[in-house]
Structure 1
Amino acid sequence: MTTRRRPTREETRRRVLAAAHDVFTTHGIEAASVADVAAAAGLTKGAVYSNFRSKNDLVLALMDEYVAERQREATELFDGAADAGHALRDVGKHLVDAIHTGAKWQRLLIAYAVSGQRDPELAEALRTRRQRLRASLAGMIERMAERHGLTLPFPPDEAAVVVLALSNGFAVEDSLDPGAVPDDLFGRVLAVLGTAGQAS
């Protein structure tokens, strides 16, 4: 008789996060419940709560994963590009590709972040994450500028705000009108900003 191996805590966590992404994307974050996520993962609510304190905790974990993956991919593209122009265009195209495939999810996160301002604890958690994200992105932008000899048109922290605002705006536009954002638009905008920095 074969004994079924119990999933590890990390395996359970991965199942919960995958199910949460599917449930939230299908039904919306506000409408979905922890019970819905547990059912989709084939687990009990207790198994979910043993890994995440609340639905907010689940959403924040998914946000962290989404951001970390985009940053990892952008870093690889920056590091592998021969020059700044190619780096900016490649990163921009990659971000638009990610927007096209995940526009609904990104739009849901934006809406959740806005509505989360009603909850002081959630609002503080979101604010802290955005600060970390901007600081990390600013560091990446500064390293890229130094490596390729670019003069930035804005300080790195402000450039990070511009990039994030563009990414969020493109996601909303593409979600409301699929195909409205050309594949190379983000890259062209970033290249123009880089050129403006050189000209100044």
Structure 2
Amino acid sequence: MSEAAATRRRATTRERLLDAGRDLLAREGIHGASVEHICEHAGYTRGAFYSNFSSKDELVLALFEREFADLMRRLEVAVDPSTYAGMGPGDALSAIMDRFLQLRPPDLDFYLLHAEFQLRGMRGDIGGAEFNELWQTVTEQVGGIVQRVLDELNLRLSVPMSQVITILMGTYDTELHSALVNDRPMDEELLRVTLPGLLLAATEPAS
């Protein structure tokens, strides 16, 4: 096998292990999902696991890095200025939210994973400090994206960005939580209308 083929095979194995970890961690929790169960779910041996990750904790760290990288990629696509050129602020923000929901449909597994990661951060478990640091980076990146959109729409915030991000992300998470505990689909229409409305309420014309 060539070096390039071996590299591709290793990358495929790693992704399948991460996919299996995602499924199991969302359903069984970080403590409940064993390395053996993850290997079984992915269809690999323990040897394959340990050739990619030194421990389950390393897989957990790699998983939430992958999840947040995917979240940010999809958000960047959703805010492409060419897709809302010529629209008024309200319509533009609604179009961005609609596109984001299409690119990343509501995912209760992600909510459960995020809850697991948050608990690690609050408890100071292995990986908790790394999660807290990454989450801070994510919120800063989201703030940067929101600022770029507002600049495109010639709007400026009338309240601090940190408060806006807390409100927007908190509203999204609250709806996810409600959908999860009530065993129902997320109210996407609520998000399409409410999140843009909340952001507009915190802005004013820049000039």
* Fold similarity call, TM over 0.5: yes
SS at match of 1:179: coil
Question: Where do 1:78-97 residues align within 5 Å?
Answer: 78-79=79-80, 80-82=83-85, 83=87, 84-93=89-98
Q: CA deviation at 1:31?
A: 1.1
Q: Deviations over 1:88-144 (max 9, x none)?
A: 2234345556463x1133124214422443235422111111111011111101111
> Structure 1 pair 153/34, CA: closer, same or farther in 2 (3 Å)?
farther
Where relative contact order (Cα < 8 A, 6+ residues apart) is larger, the structure is 1
Listed as ranges, the gaps of 5+ residues in structure 2 are none
Q: In 2, are the aligned partners of 1:151 and 1:198 still within 8 Å (CA)?
A: yes
Select between 125-134 and 80-89 the one with higher mean Cα deviation: 80-89
Instruction: Report what 1:46 is aligned to.
Output: 47
1:185 equivalenced with 2:190 (yes/no): yes
Distance 2:127 2:186 in 1: 31
Gaps of 5+ in 1: none
Partner of 1:143: 148
Instruction: Give the secondary structure class of the aligned counterpart of 2:188.
Output: coil
Shift of 1:56: 2.6
Q: Which moved more, 1:23-32 or 1:37-46?
A: 23-32
Q: In structure 1, what is the Cα distance between the partners aligned to 2:91 and 2:183?
A: 26
Please say if residues 78 and 87 of structure 1, whose CA atoms lie closer than 8 Å, have aligned partners that are also in contact: no
Partner of 2:66: 65
Secondary structure in structure 2 of the residue aligned to 1:165: helix
Residue 19 of structure 1, CA deviation: 1.5
- Specify which of 138, 148, 151 is matched with residue 133 of structure 1: 138
Q: RMSD between aligned alpha carbons?
A: 2.6
Q: Would you say the 8 A contact 1:117–1:123 is kept in 2? A: yes
- The TM-score with structure 1 as length reference comes to 0.82
Is 32-41 or 78-87 further displaced after alignment?
78-87
Look up the SS of the partner of 1:28 in the other structure: helix
Structure 1 residues 56 and 92 mapped into 2: Cα distance closer, same or farther (>3 Å)?
farther
Match of 1:195 in 2: 200
Deviates more, 1:28-37 or 1:80-89: 80-89
> Secondary structure of the residue that 1:46 maps to in structure 2?
helix
* In structure 1, C-alpha distance between the alignment counterparts of 2:17 and 2:36, rounded to whole Å: 11
TM-score normalised per structure 2: 0.79
Structure 1 residue 150, shift from structure 2 partner:
1.6
2:143–2:165 Cα contact (<8 Å) kept: yes
